[in-house]
Amino acid sequence: NKELFEEYMLAYCLAVNDVLNCQYKRYFNMELTEELLDQTRSAHSHNMDAEEIMGMITAAQDRAPNASMCFVSSKICAQKNQTMRYLEDRPDLHCLIMKSVKLGRCHRQRKKLRQLDLQVEIVQPRMQHGTQMPGRLWKGGFGITSLRPFKSCIRA
């Protein structure tokens, strides 16, 4: 139905416009002050760094396709700011590595729990209204419902 399509597209476009205006309001009404000019003076006038990093991400994903984006981005960040060169000179290197592993585990677990909460938040209204769910979610559950957080990972 063409009329229904036009109505939905109009509502969709207006909603997108509202979201973009809300998100970029600060930039649309921007005045160039000295403070802003000072903050942006050190910014690159090209995107070569971004292209280099995207190439590094692609290469890292090709080398380790099962690695998480969190791991890949952390590794690239450590390469770019030469973190390991700094850490190699520290006497407590082993303790720092063990703490980093523990904090990384906690971070991943909190992220999985947050994703589970979001899945439940998305699915619950549909289940209450009886809307048909995709087969994988409906039959197989969420996949990470048995996840139990470490006590050390939960923030008070």
Query: Domain ranges in the chain?
Result: 1-37
pLDDT tens, residue order, the chain (156 aa): 899 999 999 999 999 999 988 888 777 677 778 888 888 888 877 778 889 999 999 999 999 999 988 889 989 988 888 888 888 888 998 998 899 889 989 988 999 999 999 888 888 877 777 665 555 444 444 444 444 555 555 554
The tokens of 90 are what? 């520290």
Ramachandran area for residue 117 (φ above 0: left; ψ -120 to 50: alpha; else beta): alpha
d(CA 65, CA 44): 31
**What pLDDT is recorded for position 21?**
86
Maximum pairwise Cα distance, the chain: 71
**C-beta of residue 75 within 8 angstroms of C-beta of residue 115:** no
| Distance (Å, whole) CA 123 – CA 115 | 12
* pLDDT at position 150: 53
- Residue 75, both tokens: 């590794």
100: tokens are: 């980093």
Which residues does 79 contact at the CB level (< 8 Å), separation at least 6?
56
Q: Compute the distance between CA of residue 110 and CA of residue 115 in angstroms, rounded to an integer.
A: 9
- 135-144 long-range contacts (CB < 8 A, ≥24 apart) are 142/116, 144/112, 144/115, 144/116
